[in-house]
Amino acid sequence: MGSLLNLQDARVTLGNATIGPVTLRVDPGERIAILGPSGAGKSTLLRLIARELRPASGALHFDGKPLSVWSPAELAQRRAVLPQQHGVAFGLPVELVVALGRVARQGDGRQDAIVREALTQAQADHLHGRRFDTLSGGEQARVQLARVFAQAWDARDGLLLVDEPVAALDPGLSVSLMAAMSDFAAERGHALVAVLHDLNLAMNHFDRLWLLKSGRLLADCDALPATLPLLEQLYDTRLRLLRDEHGLAILPMLSAAVGVRA
């Protein structure tokens, strides 16, 4: 099976910032976390992959075709995006917000059932019937995740792009929703690419890491304990790795700056 997404020497300029050039690939079913300090260009790279930004140079291919030639409807059936900001201008009902993910599948007789099931998988079924603009930030995040699930529900070998999907959630819900995302993608063969700040979620729920620093790709590596020195270089801080049968935990050390002696 060929790669799902290819970036070849891709570069994007946003204001005074330039990201890249980067050469990367995503295979069906992969789980990739984009990590880096604030301002490194993580969200910009995700927006480039989502075709929200045009590359200044280089090439992007999705499923063997230039990303630029996909029609919006075709792309919507294979690729779903959860942005960092997800405000809705009007007081839409929750189920309508979720149903927006099905716009490219007009006339689908299963829409109501899929909306319900998507809300359940996003642990937001109790919000059915509420107005989106009355929800908390965490509740809105769950509803928007359900929209992504609804959009990608009956696709195979698609691409899910999510930007800080659990940033507004408590630790327990963050872990359970990240597991729900991983399971949803795995069941359908979707690749999952996520911008994250939480190293522990990245190390425990993802296969590979794209490490970005100052607009440049520091590394494309497996999510393994051996990457700890690269993570220290990425964040300019010393880190401690703990491991048991439940998984990995990475903690910053008190002498935080790399090169500072205790």
CATH of the domain at 66: 3.40.50.300
What is the distance between the alpha carbons of residues 12 and 49, in angstroms, rounded to a whole number?
Answer: 10
- The residue out of 136, 154, 172 marking a domain boundary is 154
What is the distance between the alpha carbons of residues 83 and 61, in angstroms, rounded to a whole number?
Answer: 21
Q: Same structural domain for residues 146 and 209?
A: no
Q: Same structural domain for residues 33 and 162?
A: yes
pLDDT-above-90 percentage for the chain:
78
Query: Is residue 255 in some structural domain?
Result: no
Q: What pLDDT is recorded for position 254?
A: 74
For residue 115 the two structure tokens come to 């909306």
Closest Cα to residue 80, out of 162, 182, 138?
Answer: 162
Task: Please tell me the pTM assigned to this model.
Answer: 0.92
Tokens 């509740």 locate to 139
Query: Is residue 252 in some structural domain?
Result: no
Q: Same structural domain for residues 46 and 173?
A: yes
Q: Same structural domain for residues 137 and 160?
A: no
pLDDT digits (tens, 9 = 90+) for 57-68: 999 999 999 999
Q: What pLDDT is recorded for position 16?
A: 82
What is the distance between the alpha carbons of residues 230 and 217, in angstroms, rounded to a whole number?
Answer: 12
Query: Is residue 261 in some structural domain?
Result: no
Are 102 and 152 within 8 A, CB to CB?
no
For residue 84 the two structure tokens come to 């960092």
- The residue out of 154, 175, 198 marking a domain boundary is 154
What is the distance between the alpha carbons of residues 35 and 202, in angstroms, rounded to a whole number?
Answer: 8
Please name the amino acid found at residue 261: R
Q: Same structural domain for residues 230 and 183?
A: yes
Q: What pLDDT is recorded for position 260?
A: 45
Range of the domain at 118: 89-154
Q: Same structural domain for residues 22 and 37?
A: yes
Q: What pLDDT is recorded for position 262?
A: 38
Q: What pLDDT is recorded for position 14?
A: 85
Query: Is residue 240 in some structural domain?
Result: no
Q: Which ranges of the chain have pLDDT less than 70?
A: 1, 86-90, 107, 255-262
Q: Same structural domain for residues 21 and 141?
A: no
What is the distance between the alpha carbons of residues 31 and 67, in angstroms, rounded to a whole number?
Answer: 20
Query: Is residue 3 in some structural domain?
Result: yes
Q: Same structural domain for residues 160 and 147?
A: no
pLDDT digits (tens, 9 = 90+) for 129-165: 999 999 988 898 899 999 999 999 999 999 999 999 9
Closest Cα to residue 7, out of 82, 62, 85?
Answer: 62
137-151 vs 171-188: helix crossing angle, rounded to 10: 10
Closest Cα to residue 199, out of 252, 236, 160?
Answer: 252
Q: Same structural domain for residues 1 and 45?
A: yes
Count how many domains the chain has.
Answer: 2
Query: Is residue 258 in some structural domain?
Result: no
Kind plus residue range of the DSSP H or E element containing 228? helix 228-235
What is the distance between the alpha carbons of residues 142 and 125, in angstroms, rounded to a whole number?
Answer: 10
